[in-house]
């Protein structure tokens, strides 16, 4: 970050300012792995719908979005959040 600034800033200064704004570093919540059963069901759904026309897709109401993890990793992912943003996916 300092390479882009005219005046260098220490990491302690950045952290202090984030805390003053009520933003804290947290370990991100792990996303569920895709199980073999769920992967099979997803592939089957894709096969069943691959020939749908644009008109058919326009009739779909997309009600939610899900994120998932394909491979488990051991490293922790950290995010910066305010207490109100605890489960915000962005």
CA 38/CA 32 separation, integer angstroms: 11
pTM: 0.41
Has residue 3 got a pLDDT over 90? Answer: no
Collapsing DSSP to helix, strand or coil, 6 comes out as coil
CA 59/CA 71 separation, integer angstroms: 33
pLDDT digit string, tens, across residues 12-71: 988 898 889 988 888 887 777 788 899 999 999 999 999 999 999 999 888 777 766 677
CA 19/CA 16 separation, integer angstroms: 5
Assigned token pair, 31: 């996303």
Residue 2 CB partners (closer than 8 Å, separation 6+): 8, 9
DSSP annotation of 66:
-
Q: Who has greater pLDDT, 50 or 83?
A: 50
pLDDT (0 to 100) of residue 75 = 77
């Amino acid at each position: 970050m300092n390479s882009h600034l005219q005046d260098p800033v220490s990491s302690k200064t950045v952290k202090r300012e984030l805390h003053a704004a009520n933003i804290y570093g947290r370990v991100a919540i792990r996303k569920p792995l895709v199980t073999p059963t769920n992967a099979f069901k997803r592939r089957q759904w894709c096969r069943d719908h691959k020939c749908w026309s644009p008109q058919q897709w326009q009739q779909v109401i997309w009600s939610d979005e899900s994120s998932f993890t394909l491979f488990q990793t051991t490293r922790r992912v950290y995010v910066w959040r305010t207490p109100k943003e605890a489960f915000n996916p962005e």
